[in-house]
Amino acid sequence: MDSRTHGTHDAQDGFAVDLPARRALATEAVHAGREDLAELGLHAPPLDFSTTYPSHDSRDEAARIDAFAADGAEPDGPPVYGRLGNPTVARFETAVARLEGTGGAVAFASGMAALSAVLLARNTQGLRHVVAVRPLYGCSDHLLTAGLLGNEVTWTDPAGIADALRPDTGLVMVESPANPTLAEVDLRAIAHACGSVPLLADNTFATPVLQRPAALGARLVLHSATKYLGGHGDVMGGVVACDEEMASRLRQMRFATGAVLHPLAGYLLLRGLSTLPVRVRAASATAEELTRRLAADPRVARVHYPRIGGAMIAFEVHGDPHAVIGRVRLITPAVSLGSVDTLIQHPASISHRIVDATDRRDAGVSDRLLRLSVGLEDVEDLWSDLDTALGAARGPAPARRQEAVGR
């Protein structure tokens, strides 16, 4: 795939920056959102913790707030209040938009807050119906299925999307590669089937390093930024990359709900982006080798690995998956993914426990499926730990119940 991105004329903290027409993804990851630093006499991006900002011109401030309320556009001039926006977070948003090739991006306190804002924004237009393809992340599935935000969902396979659309359909949602089975869909074909209905693609697993859904027709690109964008397991956030019209509505929803990203989180996420291509490619090379070894192992029934590559592996064992979880020592048995260290979890017990058992199995999430997020450790050390853990997986799997707590 083309590793270059198209530049735009960008303004950060009032400083206009003329960007080159095309820059490689690795270059954008390091420089996007930071172009004005040299002019400011800085090397590292400033971290602004302010919750409010002084203004002696209350008439101008009122006019800018009125403009934001009317169309959701980012206020010109100095910041107003932390719930409307933050300069440090804005740098992260600029960088994500550049990496995904969209006109804008809006950051939130978590990936679920980001998805909730999208659904609420469509609801306000009377478009409460969602068409979705399983599997999705378990909490995304639950949010839609339970109708917690007043939405109605129609679950279908990719071939049935066009027939599932209704006059009140506000969104089509897919995740590719999907959590946790790593199933892939043809995003370009799905975008075509959506017609005028916006397609939201969860790109958390692939990241813009491996896939840019906006270039394939998706109008919204969702990330749990907690995962690869942050990359170190120490920050939580979510972001939606989209066109400016949709971004304006999402900013209004963020202001109304207060689901803002903390400035320190924005700073850490921007820092994480600078190493995103290096981390994803290095972890992907290790994942490919582990996939090869798992596929040849008689203790493993089936291995799932996406065609586009990546650092996620799903595999089903013949024996007890809980025994594998209990026996790893180097690999961390924990939810989440995309960190520099390798994590393993049992989706049917944790990340997808909240999904109805029948729906879960129909989507390919079997009770013997394990999900591995490959980090940056040496491949031989990881394989040694997996080999030992797989040796403990013989015998029937005991019944166990756990609540869903993460991806």
Q: DSSP string of 319-357? A: S-HHHHHHH-SSSEE-S---SSS-EEE-TTTTTTTTS-H
Distance CA 24, CA 97 (A): 14
pLDDT digits (tens, 9 = 90+) for 233-261: 999 999 999 999 999 999 999 999 999 99
Residue 399 has pLDDT above 60, yes or no: no
Mean pLDDT of the chain, nearest integer: 91
Q: How far apart are CA 173 and CA 153, in angstroms?
A: 10
Q: Which residue in the list 141, 202, 320, 385 is annotated as catalytic? A: 202
227 is catalytic: yes
Tell me if 407 sits within 8 A of 351, measured CB to CB. Answer: yes
Q: What H or E segment, with its residue span, contains residue 274?
A: helix 263-274
Torsion sign, CA atoms 221, 227, 232, 237: positive
Q: Tell me, yes or no, if 202 is annotated catalytic.
A: yes
Tell me how far the alpha carbon of residue 48 is from its chain's centroid. Answer: 24
Among candidate residues 98, 227, 251, 407, the one labeled active-site is 227
Helix, strand, coil shares of the chain, percent, nearest 5, are 40, 15, 45
Catalytic annotation present for 137: yes
Residues 6+ apart with CB under 8 A from 307: 184
Confidence band, pLDDT 50/70/90 cuts, at residue 168 = very high
User: Can you tell me the distance from the alpha carbon of 30 to that of 358, in angstroms, rounded to the nearest whole number?
Assistant: 44
Please say if the pLDDT value at position 272 is more than 70: yes
Kindly state the average pLDDT of the residues 300-328: 97
| pLDDT > 70: percent of the chain | 92
Mean pLDDT over 144-149 rounds to 96
- Cross-sheet strand order for the sheet of 300-304: 300-304, 312-317, 369-373, 343-345, 332-333
High-pLDDT (> 90) share of the chain, %: 81
pLDDT band with cut points at 50, 70 and 90 for residue 392? confident
pLDDT at 104: 97
> Which residue do the tokens 């979880």 mark?
325
User: What pLDDT does residue 406 have?
Assistant: 52
State whether residue 172 is helix, strand or coil. Answer: strand
Q: Greater confidence, 229 or 16?
A: 229
User: Which of 105, 101, 100, 90 has the alpha carbon at shortest distance from 34?
Assistant: 90
Q: Which of 4, 83, 281, 299 is catalytic?
A: 83
91, 137, 141, 353: which is the annotated catalytic residue? 137
Q: What is the pLDDT of residues 180-210, one digit of tens each?
A: 999 999 999 999 999 999 999 999 999 999 9
Under the banding of pLDDT at 50, 70 and 90, the label for residue 407 is low
Q: What is the DSSP string of 372-386?
A: EE--SS-HHHHHHHH
- Please give the DSSP secondary-structure letter assigned to residue 403: -
Q: What is the C-alpha to C-alpha distance for residues 407 and 335, in angstroms, rounded to an integer?
A: 6
Q: Is the pLDDT of residue 341 over 90?
A: yes
Please check the confidence at residue 167 and state whether its pLDDT lies above 50: yes
pLDDT tens profile 114-140? 999 999 999 999 999 999 999 999 999
Cα end-to-end span (Å), the chain: 28
Q: Identify residue 363 by its one-letter amino acid code.
A: A
DSSP H or E stretch at residue 70: helix 58-71
* Per-residue pLDDT tens digits for 59-108: 988 888 888 888 888 878 888 999 999 999 999 999 999 999 999 999 99
- pLDDT per residue as tens digits for the range 347-380: 999 888 888 899 888 888 999 999 999 999 999 9
Measured CA to CA in angstroms, residue 397 lies from 140, 217, 253, 367, 370 at distances of 27, 43, 45, 9, 13
Length of the chain: 407
Over residues 159-184, mean pLDDT: 98
To the query of whether residue 83 is one of the catalytic residues in this protein, the response is yes
